[in-house]
Amino acid sequence: MKPPVRIGVIGTGRWAVQHHIPALLANPRARLVALADANPTRLAQARDRFGVERVFDGSEGLCASGLVDGVVVAVPNASHYGVARRSLDAGMHVLVEKPMTLDPAQAWDLVTRARTAGLHLVVGYPFHFSPPVHQARAVVATGALGRLHLTSGLFSSPRAHLYRRPSSNGVATLTEPEPGTYSDPALSGGGQGQTEATHALANLLHVTGLEVERVSAHMRRLDFPVDVIDVVTLEFTNGGLGSLASIGTVGGRHPLQREFRYYGDDGVLLQDLTTGVVRGHAGDGRRFDFGPIGPEELYPTHAPSACLIDLMTGGRDNPAPAELGARVVACLAAAYESTRRDGQPVAVAAKP
């Protein structure tokens, strides 16, 4: 039996502390040996809470230490590229949180660096490891729907509290994001688009395999410092069209809606990420009926880090590959640019 692979976590924010670190500690094929964070208070809290001996005040020290074989990058969005690039250049396999980067050229650069070095690069999209995504992708891959002409997505979420700028600059606890992580465009790159619509776009592109040629978008901030309502029209290279609407102010008594519909020459498919239901029919009479499933399967937060460990120990399946992450970044960048142009169509940056 192979010894556990050595893993470091760069960024001890809310998501890393609540999900990545516990998942790594529970994985018998991994050994969490180091943490890094520029915030000394959070770093010390995480060290003491999880019993990790080696800590660094930034990614530079961890990457140069020779202590780890792979890293989880869970820093603010604007820092993803620099930290992931440094990690890859140090010869480490990487799981980078979504969005992969904020700039398409940087995203494709990471793809190239990982491929050239023979390293694994996973993007943190938990939905891609859930049964309704596998089921919908499998149906489309069989050709049962025929040529896809229309896709439609609706993705709501309770994220308004993250998009509010905090009233003070106090130090956040391990269970809360640091001030500005989601609400400061300089750190996040945007609101609902970068935090939630990125999931929806990744799901749509992963399930269908379609390439986006142009997008048109409108976004609204309401009284927030970043976008909380996004509506995006997609033009695919196969001539089909798509729509995606996402809102971050839904929660409390209101049930979430995360539905996708796919319309082809020969069939129709519904994919519901809130229940795990996948239902539809094909022109030859076949019917598809999967789900519902339990909440732990719907959004397996442990799965991205488990995927990194699988790949490092000989596995081959990566439902959240870097190429997909880069395509999502390119679509989002075009959507934000379209918004700045009052909804005019913007070409999606092609793979170099």
The pLDDT, as a whole number, for residue 167 is: 47
Where do the domains of the chain lie, and which CATH numbers do they carry? Answer: 5-126 (3.40.50.720), 127-298+321-347 (3.30.360.10)
CA–CA distance, 91 with 84 (Å, rounded to integer): 11
- The tens place of each residue's pLDDT in the chain, 352 residues long, gives 678 999 999 999 999 999 999 999 999 999 999 999 999 999 999 999 999 989 999 999 999 999 999 999 999 999 999 999 999 999 999 999 999 999 999 999 999 999 999 999 999 999 999 999 999 999 999 999 999 999 999 999 999 999 987 644 555 567 788 888 999 999 999 999 999 999 999 999 999 999 999 999 999 999 999 999 999 999 999 999 999 999 999 977 778 999 999 999 999 999 999 999 999 999 899 999 999 999 889 999 999 999 999 999 998 899 999 999 999 999 999 999 999 999 999 999 988 8
b/e sequence 5-32, b meaning 16+ C-beta within 10 Å: bbbbbbbbbbbbbebbbbbbeebebbeb
Global confidence as pTM: 0.96
The pLDDT, as a whole number, for residue 213 is: 98
Residue 174 is predicted with a pLDDT of: 78
**In a 3-state reduction of DSSP, which class is residue 92?**
coil
Supply the pLDDT for residue 171: 54
Please list the residues that pair with 232 across neighbouring strands: 217, 244
If we measure between CA atoms, which residue out of 157, 13, 26 comes closest to residue 75? 13
The pLDDT, as a whole number, for residue 296 is: 85
Q: Which of 86, 39, 315 is nearest to 181 (CA)?
A: 39
Q: What is the DSSP letter of 77?
A: G
Place of tokens 């979504």: 98
pLDDT (0 to 100) of residue 165: 72
Burial class (CB in 10 A: 0-12, 13-18, 19+), 167: exposed
Helix (H, G, I), strand (E, B) or coil at 89: helix
Q: Which of 162, 165, 11 is nearest to 82 (CA)?
A: 11
